[in-house]
A and B are shown apart, each in its own frame.
Chain A
Amino acid sequence: MVDTLEPMIDAPIAGQSLTAELGNRPWQQPPQYSTVEDALQYYIPRLTNPEMLDDLLNVMETGIPLTTLANAIQSSGVMEGKHSLDIGILIMPVLMETMAYLAEEADVEYEVGTNKKIGSDKPSQAAVANALALAEKEITKRNKEPEEEEKQMEMELEEPSVGLMSRRSTDGV
């Protein structure tokens, strides 16, 4: 284990969850929207709201990926008690796709945050390398096949023996 001099401030303080009465926090209450459709009906109008949209496009222009934005949006929804964490994770792809749509509509460049661009026709480097390896294997296989065929042809075309005890040819000659 690596010892760091700086304290880890990423984790919650021990007992932090006990600093408020159980049920006082919004996320400890039943969620307001219990289905993905309800949650999306809450989010989509908010994302397309002109005031919100300007800020969102500005943030996208700065290069913050859509994955981070979708994570932040759904996390705030969970903290406000709008929906459960499960619903939040389920709706993230729809939020990302909606934001990508809005960005392209406004002609704003954006970063998706996934390895490959969503919906892109361009294959990944791994897929290209795999395809090349398969093609190479296929080519070597095809090059080998004619050699084997030639050998077989040569075997068939061998001159028949003319000895007295040799088998007669099938055509009766």
Chain B
Amino acid sequence: MYNAAFLAMNNLVMPKSTEPKKQMGTSLLSRNVAKNGTPKEQDVNQRIAKYVSIIRKDRMELKNG
């Protein structure tokens, strides 16, 4: 049988861990506002992957105590 749930789960591209933000320079001529301050609107697949990763993280914490 065609298992849609199996495919949906296996084809989910999980989000990569976010890189640590670079600290802004403190010199006089340095940019004082972060360049990419506003987050981009995410695709529905990315949103689903994000929700799954959040729940999975909680589940792993539950398992590890």
- Tally A-B pairs: CB < 8 A: 66
Pairwise interchain contact B48-A93, C-beta atoms closer than 8 A: yes
> 1/0 per position for A72-102, CB-CB distance to B under 8 A?
0000000000000000011111101110110
In the bound assembly, the distance between CA atoms of A68 and B55 in angstroms comes to 20
B29 contacts the other chain (CB 8 A): no
Interface SS of chain B: helix, strand, loop or mixed? helix
Pairwise interchain contact A101-B5, C-beta atoms closer than 8 A: no
Pairwise interchain contact B59-A113, C-beta atoms closer than 8 A: no
- Contact for A114 among B4, B10, B60, CB less than 8 A: B10
Given contacts A40-B51, A100-B59, A119-B59, contact A92 B5 (CB under 8 A): yes
Pairwise interchain contact A105-B55, C-beta atoms closer than 8 A: no
B33 contacts the other chain (CB 8 A): no
In the bound assembly, the distance between CA atoms of A97 and B49 in angstroms comes to 11
Interface size on B, residues (CB 8 A): 22
CB distance from B17 to the nearest CB of A (A): 15
Given contacts A94-B55, A101-B58, contact A71 B3 (CB under 8 A): yes
CB distance from B9 to the nearest CB of A (A): 5
Interface residues of A in 122-140 (CB under 8 A from B): none
Nearest-CB residue, chain B, relative to A99: B55
Given contacts A67-B5, A71-B3, contact A119 B10 (CB under 8 A): no
Instruction: Give A residues with C-beta under 8 Å from B.
Output: 36-37, 40, 66-68, 70-71, 89-94, 96-98, 100-101, 104-105, 113-115, 118-119
